[in-house]
Amino acid sequence: MKMNHTFWIALSLAFLSIQTYSVAQSDRFEPGVYKSADGDSLQYRLMIPDYNPIRDYPLVVFLHGSGERGEDNKAQLKWGIQQLASDNMMKNFPCFVLAPQCPANGWWSNYENLADGQLSLKPEAGQAMSLMIELVESLIIDLNIDTNRVYITGLSMGGYGTFDAIIRRPDLFAAAIPVCGGGDISQAKLIKDIPMWIITGWPLFMVGRLL
């Protein structure tokens, strides 16, 4: 997949510039509910840029951590995503931003813990992951999204989910920023060509406040 490196750098720096919850910025994310053919549903928020309908724009998918699970369709906006909705980012790097909310007892990833401490990705995706991928594919059909610029990032549980997603669908995601997550190292060959900024350890992550 082709990738806009300028946008990728801006996304990385913006994502690390974490702020506290911003009501003004969160209001830019429109609420929605995706329903599958089987009747399952996934709540989400979507930021739609002011865009030219003859152009295609990037899509950034953000997977929240375990503390933001639930049914309020709001908690997933608390950490790590507000800067993407800032005036500066929206003006200079317009993009769609998708923030789904994992149900209270769900997980983005579906791993098995092996005896040696390694993770093994189970063949089937978890329900939340399956719905998220279906949602992304439906947005690509309905909106002016550049299929060569679909990016994914996530925190903690969402970091594990980021690895899960790109291993299952390396064809779908152009790049990834997994934060404080982990994955199945036996599947690394599937994602060797996907540009990533892998961030582990909260002390390192908090350095982003200084950028």
Model confidence at 43: pLDDT above 80: yes
Q: Find the helix or strand (DSSP H, E) in which 15 lies.
A: helix 5-16
- DSSP one-letter string for 134-147: HHHHHHHHHS-EEE
- Of residues 208 and 173, more confidence is placed in 173
Distance CA 169, CA 200 (A): 22
SS (H, E, C) 154-172: EECHHHHHHHHHHHHCCCC
Please state which CATH number belongs to domain 5-206.
3.40.50.1820
CA distances from 107 to 126, 129, 160 (A): 7, 8, 9
pLDDT at 93: 84
- Could you give the 3-state DSSP secondary structure of residue 119? strand
Q: Which of these, 155, 59, 77, 64, lies nearest to 106 by C-alpha position? A: 64
pLDDT digit string, tens, across residues 9-30:
555 555 555 444 444 566 789 9
Model confidence at 200: pLDDT above 50: yes
Q: Which of these, 158, 195, 30, lies nearest to 96 by C-alpha position? A: 30
Mean pLDDT of the chain: 85
- Of residues 48 and 15, more confidence is placed in 48
Angle subtended by helix axes 127-142 and 157-168, to nearest 10: 60
pLDDT at 115: 78
pLDDT at 40: 94
Distance CA 163, CA 205 (A): 18
- Could you give the 3-state DSSP secondary structure of residue 200? coil
Q: Indicate the domain borders of the chain.
A: 5-206
Q: What percent of the chain has pLDDT over 90?
A: 64
